[in-house]
Structure 1
Amino acid sequence: MILKKYKIIQPEIIICLVIVLSTFAIYWQVKDYDFVSFDDKLYIIENSYVKNGLTPESIFWAFSFEDKDKTYWIPLTWLSYMLDYELYGLNPGKYHLTNLFIHIINSLLLFYVFRKMTGEIWKSAFIAAIFAVHPLNVESVAWIAQRKNVLSTFFWMLTTLFYINYAEKPSVLKYISVFFCMLAGLMAKPMLVTLPCVFVLLDYWPLKRLVIFKKVENREYSSKNNFPKQLFYYLILEKIPLLMLSFASVSIFWSSLEYYDNIISKDAIPVKLRLANAAVSYLSYIKKMIWPSNLSVFYTYPDYIPSWKALSAFFILLIITFAAFYRIKKNPYLITGWLWYMGTLFSVSGITQNGLWPEMADRWAYVPLVGIYIIIAWECPRVLKNYAFRKKILYTGSCIILAAFMVCTYFQAKHWTNTFTLFKNAVNIDPDNWVAHNSLGVFLAEHGKIDDAILHFSRSLQINPSYAFTYNNLGTALAEKGRFDKASEQFLMALKLDPDYTEPYYNLGLIYTEKGDTEQAVKYFFKVLNIDPEHKKTYNKLMLLIKKMSASDKLKYYSRLLNIMPDSYEINNYTGVLLAQQGKADKAVKYFIKALNLKPGYEQAHINLGNTFARLKDLNKAVIHFSKALQINPGNGTTYYRLGTSYAQKGDIETAVKYFKQALQINPDNAHINNDMGRAFMILGKNEDAAEYFKRALEIKPDFIKAAENLDRISSISESK
């Protein structure tokens, strides 16, 4: 009995080991790969929340819609990046390996899921093996930004496994595990929205929970269905909570895109062209699955698809679908595999689009092509069932195909070494790939090869003259060469195409700053902040310019800034300082208090309120605010000095001396503190001590007239005695 069990388990263990070792063999190289500029920067390198690690603030951000420009709601993916950062910092090789480990687990789960559903070891092994090593999956594995793809697929497979357990013996607890596992997958990427429909397919085959045809003696299926109808309705009914989860995910997905206006309008790409491209792409993925050549990180969207090509694609898809339904009785795996492919690919078919949408993308076929693998794994043995050497043909053919794919995948993965190799390959495949030219230009510019970058940006614009980002990139490169007038033309072209694009405004501001035209520079910086008040680098540049202006101009621009960002504690504080300097203390106090309301622990606002109340002779309030400032920062010697001065003005000289001493412990070489300490000792009648502090003040600042006068007064008093 033990031996028999061992023999059953042994091939499964061998298969799993082969899958793991084969996948490692072709992908282990990724440990030495770099981040690429295409989304990796956005997701990790330039993402302050990810680089904070797993903090409460970062976790809250991951689940919110806030501050996610050009991305959508994928909280679990963000958390995985944060965990990577906690473990590896910004070591790109480790992020790559995390993707690889998840992909390997996905492959093993895929094997186990189909083995458990069908009882077929070798057919399930073929599906898992081809999934593990197929070149089309390189993009999902070797692209760090596609963590969402491999992670969501992990939950897809795990949810399916839980569903199989539920199907064997339904229970509420098992259903809950399915529900929450699917929820986790949707939080990694909304690709799982079609999973409830896939479960209906699996109910029909291979789980055989959904019986449409009754099997009779000749192994055919009759048209009569004596399967209890309430069971059919039950199978649909049990999917409703999962479908509601899918609808909720779709709603959240579109809401997150609309939040940043990241949806391509129907006018930009006509629906007719989208439908045509979707039909053609369905066949293109199958073609690339069979012959995976010329794989690129980005396939540019076509400007036109001939009607004959689109209609032919629609017609072929209809024929295949009809054939699958026609064979539904004898070969039920055909309908399951084909509808798996068609259905799961639909959500990324491009009928609705967001962001920079390509013609097709290798990563989108990661899960859908499993449907085609199902068809191949079961149909090929059926076709060859009457051949004498059927097993040898199948095993040999499978090994040759998998070996060929492994070699292809190994070399395809090398293109992901860094940004340059990735987009150089894309340009080699398609010299008119304007996205690749633009990305190459960005890489070259970052590495100081400005002239080469300009050539690629110019080529990109020749191919596609309607992309605002490339005009901005070209302008930035020209500005680096000192060609400011030409650069300005490019920035203005970018703004003509996209008036809400902030970077060209910012870059124009930099150019006018370089030219010394402060008025124009300020004008463009304000345009940026009107669109995006959180644009930090623009705010910082603008503040540097304002600080060099006259008081009246400062007040004017601070007022404009407060109209844009009324909740800026810094601007409220700066405005208060200006008003205080102009003698408008009462108005200044209001701005300082508002700054404190916006940021209760704002030390400088407390200090400024203390100074202002001291000028107003409201010394009690001055003492309160200087004391609060010291609670926030006990190491500020100047605040101790201000507090001591306030007590001295109140007539509490002994307390003043206490704070002057603390101020001198921090700033012993401050002539003014030494002088005021001397004056305090004079008032207390300790003239010898006073004289020492006046002398110290004069040693620090020999031309300090007040200290000299105070020392003379001490000397006169001593002589008169």
Structure 2
Amino acid sequence: MVYGNGLFGGFVSDDISAIVTNPKVGDLAATLTHPTIGGILTTLAFKLGGYNPIFYHLNNLIFHLGSVILIYFIFKLLTKKTFLPGLIALIFAIHPITTESVVWISGLPYVSYTFFGLLTLLIIITIQQKILPLPFLATAVFTFGLSFLSSEKSVAFVLIILIYLALFWSRRAAGILLAATMSMTVLFAKPLWSIFYQRILDANPSFAGGITFYNPLVQIPVAIYTYIKLFLFPINLTYYHETLNYNPVLLLYYYLLLSGLLLLGIVLYKKRQFVVLLGLVIFLLGFSPTLLPIRIAWIVAERYAYLPAIGFSVGLSYILLFIWNRNRWGFIVATAALVLMYSGLTIKRTFDWRSEETLWPATAAVSPDSTHARYNMGEIYRKKGDLKKAKEEFEAAIYYQPNNLEATNALATLNLQMGESTEAAKLFDKAKAMNPQSVDYIVSTAIAAIQQKKYDEALKLLEEAKELDPKSTIVYNALGGMYFELGDKKKAIEMLEKALEIDPGQGDIIKNLQYLKSLE
């Protein structure tokens, strides 16, 4: 019920490039070239509903509901109770921090890898408890593979399953499953490494300074503290958690907090409270794929907290159970308050994700110093035609991150649109310097030069772009525009025809060509 509103949200952020503007969306052959669970389900959603967002949202919601059910049965088998597992599943189901993964279409990898990882764990538990015979281990291997095919972050389940085996199984039985787990990991090691390596390149472009390393002695305690705060007080949720403030005093506090969690783990082990310990393991190790010392992800993002939310739900449920054993009315009041608060905040958060026009203002309100939030606000104002506001937002984005290539190019393009070609040319030069191999930025710089009637300079830039990408239609379109400015309609038509030879489906170029031919 709390996610019902999310079904009717539109395409936002990464959804647009992955679906709306992706020419290969729905192409099954292309999807199967590098198959992922998300890619296959997105293709299926496109076949069923085209560009209707509800078909894509259903994927996420079904996986989330499936995970809730799996959580209930996993902890029912581990605790031999029904009330406590129901409480754990309920808290996980409605906690606001999971909203991003559930209602954002591009959050599909997080809900799917978690679902298949939990399904694998459930099968292993049923084999351990002799509910299923040992041959069903093959099914666990298969579902583990589906988790890998969902996201490279599923490697967290390797560690979680290994610790589960160490806690709950005999050495001989654990050895059998350990061999199966490691075999599956080795089988997927190469594709996972390929994804990981590509992720490193994508997250560390050369124009932004190349590969960035984090200090884990700062990164990990700051991140864990921030996540705990978001779990306990899920009020200021935002798409971008870019600014993570700390000082030596706060860092000491974070170290004490992290040390306390590790000490708690030791105490739980000594007291053989293995179920609670498993929850703590899921909470901490669930973050491990995103807390590596090399930048491959944001330090903090709410979608990364989807799997760890299970661990938090376990811990909170045991606290509530402690209250239940001492004061039934206290438990009822506390649980009712939590359910109402979490449900209300989750419903509110689903409204933030309804569209770009709701997401980015909500993000900027919580993260006003986020360069990405300000850039996206600039795009909102630009689409509305408020160029002055758009310019302010793009300038703010560059202020917070001077090497923000997207914002620099957007501001340059906006200046060009506003007739400020000199300022646009400077910004395009800056963008081109940050990424000299980008044909788009070279062409944009050339267009600014054309507006300033610097045709020799523009021609030189366009020839440079053509050498980089001989099949770029935007280069020939720009050449056509330049020759038209020079009064050479024949040459302009020739350039546009070359562009259409490369890609006959370019509607804007077709219109330009038709206009030029109508002048003959």
Q: Which TM-score band (shorter chain)?
A: 0.7 to 0.9
Contact 1:126 1:398 in 2 (8 A): no
Indicate the larger mover: 468-477 or 106-115. 106-115
1:190 matched to 2:152? The reply is yes
Q: Which residue of 1 aligns with 2:31?
A: 59
- The separation in 2 between residues aligned to 1:569 and 1:35, in whole angstroms, is 30
Seen in structure 2, the aligned counterparts of structure 1 residues 299 and 171 have a Cα distance that, compared at 3 Å, is same
Which of 18, 36, 39 lines up with 1:78 in the alignment? 39
Cα deviation, residue 126, structure 1: 1.3
Q: Structure 1's 453 and 377: CA in aligned 2 closer, same or farther, altered over 3 A?
A: same
What displacement does 1:104 show?
2.0
**Aligned match for 1:369, one of 309, 318, 322:** 309
Mapped pair 1:322 → 2:263: yes
**Deviation by residue 1:37-86 (Cα, 9 ceiling, x = unmatched):** x2111111111111xx2443x334443xxxxxxxxxxx221121111111
8 Å contact from structure 2 (residues 320, 335) kept in 1: no
What amino acid maps onto 2:267 in structure 1?
Y
Question: For the Cα contact (< 8 Å) 1:54–1:79, is it kept in 2?
Answer: no
1:434 maps to what in 2? 371
Give the partner amino acid of 2:274.
Answer: P
Aligned residue for 1:348? 290
| SS, match of residue 328 in structure 1 | helix
1:338 corresponds, among 280, 303, 309, to 280
2:407 to 470, 477, 493: 470
Instruction: Quote the residue 1:686 is aligned against.
Output: none
Once residues 396 and 467 of structure 1 are traced to their aligned partners in structure 2, the CA distance between those partners, rounded to angstroms, is 49
Which residue in the other structure is 1:226 paired with? none
Q: Deviations over 1:449-489 (max 9, x none)?
A: 22211111112222222212111010111111121111111
- Show the counterpart of 2:300: 360
Partner of 1:175: 137
Alpha-carbon contact 2:165-2:174 (below 8 Å) kept: no
Question: In structure 2, what is the equivalent of residue 29 of structure 1?
Answer: 5
Secondary structure at 1:84 match in 2? helix
Give the residue type in structure 2 aligned to 1:49. Answer: K
Question: Counterparts of 2:349 and 2:202 in 1: how far apart (Å)?
Answer: 34
Structure with greater Cα Rg: 1
| Equivalent of residue 421 in structure 1, options 358, 372, 375 | 358
> Measured at CA, do residues 488 and 149 of structure 1 come closer, stay the same or move farther in structure 2, by a change above 3 Å?
same
Q: Is 1:241 equivalent to 2:183 in the alignment?
A: yes
Go from structure 1 to structure 2 and tell me whether the alpha carbon gap of 1:112 and 1:287 turns closer, same or farther (over 3 Å shift): same
Question: How many equivalent pairs are there?
Answer: 496
Change (3 A) 1:539 1:138: farther
- Partners of 1:137 and 1:533 in 2: CA distance: 46
Counterpart for residue 520 of structure 1: 457
**Counterpart secondary structure, 2:270:** coil
Deviates further, 150-159 or 242-251: 242-251
The verdict on how the C-alpha distance between 1:343 and 1:395 changes in structure 2, with shifts beyond 3 A counting, is same
The structure-2 alpha-carbon separation of the partners of 1:529 and 1:139, relative to structure 1 and needing over 3 Å to count, comes to farther
Residue pair 1:33, 1:417 contacting (<8 A) in 2 also:
yes
Structure 2 residues without counterparts, runs of 5 or longer: 503-520
Instruction: Using structure 2 for the length normalisation, give the TM-score.
Output: 0.85
**CA–CA distance in structure 2, aligned partners of residues 148 and 230 of structure 1:** 34
Take 1:332 and 1:76, find their aligned partners in 2: how far apart are those partners?
32
In structure 2, how many angstroms separate the alpha carbons of the residues matched to 1:100 and 1:516?
A: 55
3-state SS of the aligned residue for 2:169? coil
Distance in 2 of aligned mates of 1:545 and 1:60: 42
Instruction: Say if 1:230 and 1:187 are closer, same or farther in 2 by CA, change over 3 A.
Output: closer
Are residues 125 and 527 of structure 1, via their aligned partners in 2, closer, same or farther at CA, if it must alter by over 3 Å?
Answer: farther
- Counterpart CA distance in 1 for 2:253 and 2:343 is 33
**Does the CA-based 8 Å contact 1:196-1:242 persist in structure 2?**
no
Note if contact 2:387-2:414 (Cα within 8 Å) is conserved in structure 1.
yes
Q: Is the Cα–Cα contact under 8 Å of residues 382 and 390 in structure 2 kept in the other structure?
A: yes
Cα distance, 1:308 vs structure 2: 3.4
Alignment of 1:540-555 (within 5 A): 540-542=477-479
Structure 1 residues 383 and 405: alpha-carbon distance in aligned structure 2, compared to 1, 3 A threshold: closer
Decide whether the 8 Å contact of 1:193 with 1:247 is kept in 2: no
| C-alpha deviation, 1:384, in angstroms | 5.8
Unpaired segments ≥5 residues, structure 1: 1-23, 64-74, 211-228, 562-567, 572-721
Alignment equivalent of 1:450, drawn from 363, 380, 387 = 387
**Quick check: 2:443–2:478 contact (8 Å CA) kept in 1?**
no
Deviation at 1:94, TM superposition (A): 3.6
Question: Per-residue deviation at 1:274?
Answer: 5.2
AA at the equivalent of 1:322: L
Say whether 1:153 aligns with 2:114.
yes
Separation in 2, partners of 1:264, 1:370 = 34
User: In 2, are the aligned partners of 1:201 and 1:340 still within 8 Å (CA)?
Assistant: no
Distance 1:538 1:443, change over 3 A: farther
CA drift of 1:237 comes to 3.3
Say whether 1:40 aligns with 2:1. Answer: no
Aligned ranges for residues 182-581 of structure 1 at < 5 Å? 182-204=144-166, 208-210=168-170, 230=172, 233-245=175-187, 247-257=189-199, 261-263=202-204, 271-273=213-215, 275-302=217-244, 305-330=246-271, 331-349=273-291, 351-354=293-296, 357-382=297-322, 385=325, 387=326, 389=327, 391-514=328-451, 517-531=454-468, 535-542=472-479
- Please say if residues 323 and 331 of structure 2, whose CA atoms lie closer than 8 Å, have aligned partners that are also in contact: no
1:438 is displaced (CA, Å) by 0.5
SS in 1 for 2:286: helix
Tell me the amino acid that sits aligned with residue 253 of structure 1. Answer: I
Structure 1 residues 231, 35: CA separation in 2 closer, same or farther (over 3 Å shift)? closer
Task: Measure, in 1, the Cα distance between the counterparts of 2:460 and 2:123.
Answer: 59
| RMSD of aligned alpha carbons | 3.4
Q: CA offsets per residue over residues 660-694 of structure 1, 9 Å max, x none?
A: xxxxxxxxxxxxxxxxxxxxxxxxxxxxxxxxxxx
1:31 partner amino acid: L
Percent identity, aligned pairs only, is 20
